[in-house]
Amino acid sequence: MRFGCETLSLRNRCLDHVVLNSLLGASLEAPMKIGEIQRKLHFGTNAPILRPEILKEALARLDEEGKVSSTAIKKKKAYFLTPSGLECVTHAVVSAENLTKPVVARLLKHTGHLIQAADGAKICIDFICEAFARCGLGIAKDLHGCGDFPHAGDLAAAFDAAVKGVMISNESRQTLETRCLGLFKSRDPEDVRLIFYLTQGYYFAQLLGLDQKAFDPISEQAFVGAVLYLDTNVVLPGLLPGDDGRAFVETMSLARRIGISLRITRASLNEARRVGANRLNELKKIENKVPPELAEKSFDDFVIHFYEQRQKSPDLTPEQYLKAFESLAQVVESWGVEIDDIVEDEMLKGRQYADLSDRIQDVAAKYRKAGPKSENVLRHDIAHYALIQDQRQTNAKTWFLTRDRTLVLGTEDVREEETPFCFGLIGFLQSISPFVVSDIECASLSKIFASLLKEQVIMTDRLFDSRELALLAEMHSDVLATAPEQLLPAVDFLKFSVLKGKAYRTEDIPLVSLELRKFLASSKDEQKKALELLNAALQAEAKAERDSATESRNARIAAENDALVQQQKLEQEAERLRCATTQIADLQSQAQLGKTKQGLYDAGAGIIIGGLLWAVQGTLMSKLQTTNWIVALLIGSAIKAIAAFLFCFPSLRHLRNSNWRSEVRIGLATLLLLTAILATKVISPSIAADLASYIAIAAALAGVFVFRDWKSRPDSV
């Protein structure tokens, strides 16, 4: 997804792409309603459900662009792709095929004797889909540090699901599983690109539902005027020679281009110098003692990268490799990063954050391989927390950009403001990724993202960090001279059987030395037996993790299905209620129309009958031929009263119940009463010529008869 124009809403563009692709398969003969589109865009139990209003807005934009059209089904709109929209979707499908085909071809290379190409391709594609269905949520949620990255067991369970129902041999299964899981560790550009785009797409899908949040990280306005303070671990890759360093510098350039100010404190520079000095000493200890085969199993990026660079330049020394640390400030400034000349004491200003410190250490002890942080590292983190709080007094869009997930998690529960203190580097890269405008930027961003994802998603073959390797080189240099085919099984045995997966520390030297030499001194059969026992234990542990991941997955699927069933029931109930409401409204409308017609009939009949009585009053009185003037007066008054009542009452009642404007009702009621007053001649001859008096009396009576309940009736047109 590459969006060149930054003047339009990124959210709208994302929504339009998602909604357009969801209409794949819809046509004039088989259009989709809003509910169907909404269900297709539901990405899991924890994923946001896009509201119908949002979908309608996206469909309206697509309709204006001529990519979507609509038809009516039972008075409701249903949508389908136009030829222009179908062309866009087809282009997206072709792009997806171009992304996946070379990756699948590489995974299946030289496997023709093990499995048929069609079955192998299906397994590989199903694995990729399963992996992101199971792990995508954790990756996407890493923006705020609240997502747990998937364990190797999740990916293994994803492969189990992909291979289910396909009849293949155990050898084929093991080969494909190794290759599929290795996809997340691959440095091949096509593999890196595919993983990046898949993760980015899932990330956008998750964040599309966050439009009600105070911070919208996929809005191009989110980072305009923002300030990011770089943690030490963020800048370290840029200080290393080779492609990784250039990719980091290019990514920093992209961040500046979209309006972000990058800063680093003097405290972080000092910490970077300490890291460089420590790595220099460790690399000196291991450079000629630790073989490349063992170095590749290191946790430490410095070690792995150093050995990779040595393959290109065999004469490379640790001093040359870490030369950038000698002029650290100048290098950082050349990237366009501003140096804030402030250290921990100046940031803290005597403030204490005991609760925050405890929380960070608890999380570090739980997730960090090395355990709780040292006092200096912890103080560095706390100081930057204080700095960000102070900076946000003048600029709310200020963050601490870090690769340290334990810091992001540790500060998540204690923060009071809506915007988190930290910005996880993976989440940040995803957020700025739509703004790439060149292939160089895209390649640089995906390369950094893939390396971060690799180190957090799957680390089962990592054994020692640089300090542990330095300790091995210092204490067991004779052992490290062993041939790689013997050394690697020995260190595997050491890590998992002796150290139980924990870090190698100085106090472990006697035990490690003894067990390592015992293992190497034992016969091949004894070594094989020990490794088989270790492998069986690891396999049992891996199986337990797979089963746990599968059980968790099944539980989520069941929960999702239950949620969808409940949603469908609610939609059906809502539809039933809407139909019932519509029927009631129609009945009420018909009843009101009938009532209005009846009122008009009654009013007309009353006016006609009243007028006829007035017209025949004289004739009736003459036919009675009574000589008693009292009787004549009573009869005449009765006829006039009945005529006036029949003339006025039905019409006044209809006016009172009507929804006409108040001035219209007042005018008609006044005219009606004025006519009745003139007809009955209740005004004395002395004021008969004063029409204003008639009108005043009629208006007063109109107010009495028509508007005595005006407070309970709203005016409407």
Single-letter code of the amino acid located at 433: S
Distance separating alpha carbons of residues 561 and 568, to the nearest angstrom? 10
* Contact criterion met (CB below 8 Å) for 315 and 231: no
Residues of the chain falling short of pLDDT 70: 1-11, 42-49, 133-153, 202-222, 369, 412-419, 437, 453-462, 549, 553, 556, 560, 624-627, 629, 680-697, 701-717
Distance separating alpha carbons of residues 425 and 434, to the nearest angstrom? 15
Question: What six digits make up the tokens of 7?
Answer: 């003047």
* Contact criterion met (CB below 8 Å) for 230 and 262: yes
* Contact criterion met (CB below 8 Å) for 290 and 484: no
* One-character DSSP codes across 361-421: HHHHHHH-TT-SPPHHHHHHHHHHHHHHHHHTTT-S-EEEEES-HHHHHHHHTT--SSS-S
Question: Is-above-0.75 flag for pTM?
Answer: no
Distance separating alpha carbons of residues 326 and 159, to the nearest angstrom? 47
* Contact criterion met (CB below 8 Å) for 354 and 378: no
pLDDT score for 580: 84
Distance separating alpha carbons of residues 205 and 224, to the nearest angstrom? 23
pLDDT score for 390: 92
Question: What six digits make up the tokens of 615?
Answer: 């017209």
3-state DSSP assignment of residue 436: coil
Distance separating alpha carbons of residues 473 and 130, to the nearest angstrom? 41
What would the pLDDT profile of 533-581 be if each residue is shown by its tens digit? 877 887 787 777 777 767 776 776 777 677 777 877 887 788 788 888 8
Distance separating alpha carbons of residues 683 and 694, to the nearest angstrom? 8
Distance separating alpha carbons of residues 501 and 512, to the nearest angstrom? 13
Question: What six digits make up the tokens of 261?
Answer: 């100010």
* Contact criterion met (CB below 8 Å) for 163 and 123: yes
Exposure on the CB side of residue 19, measured as CA atoms within 13 A: 32
What is the phi/psi pair of residue 257, to 5°? -65, -30
Distance separating alpha carbons of residues 270 and 347, to the nearest angstrom? 15
3-state DSSP assignment of residue 686: helix
User: Count of CB atoms within 10 A of residue 260's CB?
Assistant: 22
Distance separating alpha carbons of residues 468 and 299, to the nearest angstrom? 10
Taking the CA atoms of 626, 631, 636 and 639 in sequence, report the sign of the dihedral they define. Answer: negative
Taking the CA atoms of 77, 78, 83 and 85 in sequence, report the sign of the dihedral they define. Answer: positive
pLDDT score for 281: 92
Distance separating alpha carbons of residues 226 and 62, to the nearest angstrom? 32
* One-character DSSP codes across 209-262: T-TTSS--TTSTTSSTT-EEEEPHHHHGGGGSSSHHHHHHHHHHHHHHHTTPEE
pLDDT score for 211: 45
Rg over alpha carbons for the chain, rounded to the nearest Å, is: 41
Distance separating alpha carbons of residues 189 and 210, to the nearest angstrom? 32
Can you name the residues that pair with 400 across neighbouring β-strands? 229, 422
Distance separating alpha carbons of residues 477 and 490, to the nearest angstrom? 14
Q: What angle do CA 478, 480, 486 make, to 5 degrees?
A: 115
Give the list of residues 6+ apart from residue 16 with CB closer than 8 angstroms, or none.
Answer: 58, 61, 62
What would the pLDDT profile of 432-442 be if each residue is shown by its tens digit? 777 776 777 77
Distance separating alpha carbons of residues 299 and 448, to the nearest angstrom? 17
pLDDT score for 681: 62
pLDDT score for 52: 81
pLDDT score for 419: 65
3-state DSSP assignment of residue 683: coil
Percentages (nearest 5) of helix, strand, coil residues in the chain? 70, 5, 25
Task: Determine which helix (DSSP H) or strand (DSSP E) holds 68, and give its type and residue range.
Answer: strand 68-73
pLDDT score for 712: 46
Chain-centre distance of CA 108, in angstroms? 34
Distance separating alpha carbons of residues 226 and 255, to the nearest angstrom? 10
| Local structure of residue 564 (DSSP, 8 states) | H
Domains with residue ranges and CATH for the chain: 1-107+191-199 (1.10.10.10), 112-185 (no CATH), 217-275+317-457 (3.40.50), 476-521 (no CATH)
What is the phi/psi pair of residue 370, to 5°? -80, 0
Distance separating alpha carbons of residues 290 and 470, to the nearest angstrom? 9
**CA–CA distance from 123 to each of 98, 162, 437, 666 (Å)?**
18, 5, 34, 80
What would the pLDDT profile of 414-430 be if each residue is shown by its tens digit? 555 556 788 888 778 87
* Contact criterion met (CB below 8 Å) for 70 and 63: yes
pLDDT score for 22: 85
pLDDT score for 248: 81
pLDDT score for 627: 63
